[in-house]
Amino acid sequence: MHKLLLSTLLLSIVVISSCSSQQASTLNESDVETFLERVELEDKTLGPVASSAYWIGSNFITYDSQKVVADYGKRFQLLALERARQAATFDKVLVSEENRRKLNLIKNSFVMPSPLDDALAGEIAGISAELDAMYGAGQHCFGEGDCYDLEAFEAVIDNSRDPDELLKAWEGWRNIGKPMKDMYLRMVEIGNLGAKDLGYDGLTDLWFSQYDMPADDFLAETDRVWDELKPLYDALHCHVRNELSEHYGEAVVSKKGSMPAHVLGNMWGQSWANIYDLVYTPDNPTADTNIDLTKILEEKDIGEIEMVEIAENFFLSLGFEPLPKTFWERSLFIKPQDHNVVCHASAWDLDSDANDLRVKMCIERNAEDFSTIHHELGHIFYYQAYSQQPSIFQGGANDGFHEAVGDLLTLSITPDYYHKIGMITEAEAINAKSDPISLLMQQALDGVVSVPWTLMLDKWRAGVFSGETSEAELNNSWWELREYYQGIKAPRERDADAFDPGAKYHIPGNTPYTRYYLAKILQYQFHESLCNQIGFEGPLHECSIYNNELAGEQLRAMLSLGQSQEWQVALEALTGTRTLSGKSMLNYYKPLKDWLDLQNASRSCGWEG
């Protein structure tokens, strides 16, 4: 079977290559149709097998599994590159709007391309597989028998209040990045050659030309929205910095300037939800308005699989079809004890024709993972909604839409939702809503805090891709951008050979991060629009679309488009506007912003960077 697939793949490349040599002047739409039909056939026959190879590579990290992943990565890279070249030969052929979009998507479907060269394709695929394995199997030992992997380090960062212990864990995990640097730079070097070979100025141009508008216009839009939201983030930063300084003392956290990254309750400082108890005290502490979901999950003995079933039920309440039996049989929900896996949560569409949908996640029974599994099922039900589209259109309207749909569901995890699913009593829900600042603070410490983080990652990569950031400045540039956008700094001077970006999965894993920035904005636009459509009249943060079939109908109508239309069309279908906007997020958090402004009235806010 393996040899047959290889022969089929190589034959496809030969056939496409022969078509590429045909003079453009003799091509017509019939040739385009033939080409697109072949692409569709290849996706249906070769795609599921390759997906299974990648699934094995993530769930069984061994020497052999990485060889298989690298092999498939190389062959599909070559096939995709040849497809892009064939699609480019049709640039001047008069074709239907649908076929033109398909051709453009084929040309823009790359993240880290190699040139059309067997050796370079093999090299970049091998580097990618090795980096992925290094992250998944990463651990650091302080001495014999004193070793920690990511989960162990995170347990410290998420829960400890000892600054020395926090610093040890924070620095420990960043040691895994050091050996990645040279491989990462080599991968970028090959990727830039591949991007230029495809007609782009380089990887930066390639990455930001995939949003149905000129790259410069798109980047200007992202900056415009950040300017709208920055006052909200600045107010939150000022308050959190003051409260952390009160707790740890000015020697650890100064009341002026940037905050040290190790005391923020998250390995990357991208969420501050775990330090909620340090930054907010209710006006009436005896009222106990906080919902401790982690404690509730433990008390009710709700297991990992049941958490997934609860998340599925949310979508069923909106009128979505149940997940197939194979989802429950083939997904990874609990971390195995006998082999290494990539625990980073992810959703997989291995074969749309067979409805082979899966989640890979090392679920822990806590509030964070309860929210995360709702998010991952957002991806799964998006896959399900557009499964009837041609394979080329099976994707989010843009890459941010997929993340936004998952995040949208988390905004509906309200006290009333907890009550409806039996997690808390009606009295407890009413009590929780009596302190809206508590609820909004908990959400803002993740939803607002993560916005500049999601923006700066690809700002850093853009500098690396373009060569503006030299090898010697890789790490310094990372921290300069973090200070500029987030007001966060390294807790101590970093070693000359440090490569702290490698400690974040999406850097060695080559996952574009602008999608998460778009998701943070879009989820609030989606949420506000759906809440208005179902006639909700209360505060926006109390709205939940759970068990509302009208909201489900509106959502499915957008999801079913896949990427068959420009993302602005999909946005307009759900919200009535084609423009990205931060106003919905500002509306959601207005009560919190007003409260923060009162708290910060006599404080020194802002930071230099």
Contact 150, 137 (CB under 8 A): no
* Bridge partners, 356 (sequence order): 351
Distance CA 89, CA 455 (A): 35
Give the active site residue among 506, 527, 528, 541: 506
Distance CA 370, CA 159 (A): 17
DSSP state string for 480-535: HHHHHHH-EE-SSPPPTT--GGGGSTTTTTT--SHHHHHHHHHHHHHHHHHHHHTT
Tell whether residue 358 is among the known ligand binding residues.
Answer: no
Tell the residue number behind the tokens 């080409």, with chain if given. Answer: 35
Distance CA 62, CA 51 (A): 17
281 by Cβ neighbours in 10 Å (0-12 / 13-18 / 19+) ranks as exposed
Tell me the Ramachandran region of residue 608: left when phi exceeds 0, alpha when psi lies from -120 to 50, beta otherwise.
beta
Tell whether residue 211 is among the known ligand binding residues.
Answer: yes
The rounded radius of gyration (Å) of the Cα atoms in the chain is 24
Catalytic status, residue 298? no
Helix (H, G, I), strand (E, B) or coil at 356: strand
Q: Which positions ≥6 away from 303 have C-beta within 8 Å?
A: 365
Q: How far is CA 38 from the centre of its chain?
A: 31
Contact 32, 90 (CB under 8 A): yes
Contact 422, 280 (CB under 8 A): no
DSSP state string for 7-72: HHHHHHHHHHHHHHTS-GGG--HHHHHHHHHHHHHHHHHHHHHHHHHHHHHHHS--HHHHHHHHHH
Positive or negative, the CA dihedral 59, 61, 63, 67 is positive
Tell whether residue 374 is among the known ligand binding residues.
Answer: no
E-assigned strands of 240-337?
259-260
Positive or negative, the CA dihedral 275, 280, 281, 282 is negative
- Supply 503's token pair: 């400690």
Residues in the chain: 609
**Count of CB atoms situated within 10 Å of the CB of 230:** 15
Give the active site residue among 82, 171, 312, 376: 376
Tell whether residue 541 is among the known ligand binding residues.
Answer: no
Tell the residue number behind the tokens 């089929």, with chain if given. Answer: 8
Closest listed residue to residue 249, CA positions, set 263, 261, 269, 266 = 263
Helix (H) or strand (E) holding 81: helix 63-88
Tell whether residue 375 is among the known ligand binding residues.
Answer: yes
Positive or negative, the CA dihedral 361, 314, 454, 432 is negative
Catalytic status, residue 376? yes
Catalytic residues: 376, 506
Binding site as annotated, residues for Zn(2+): 375, 379, 403
Binding site as annotated, residues: 211, 375, 379, 403, 515
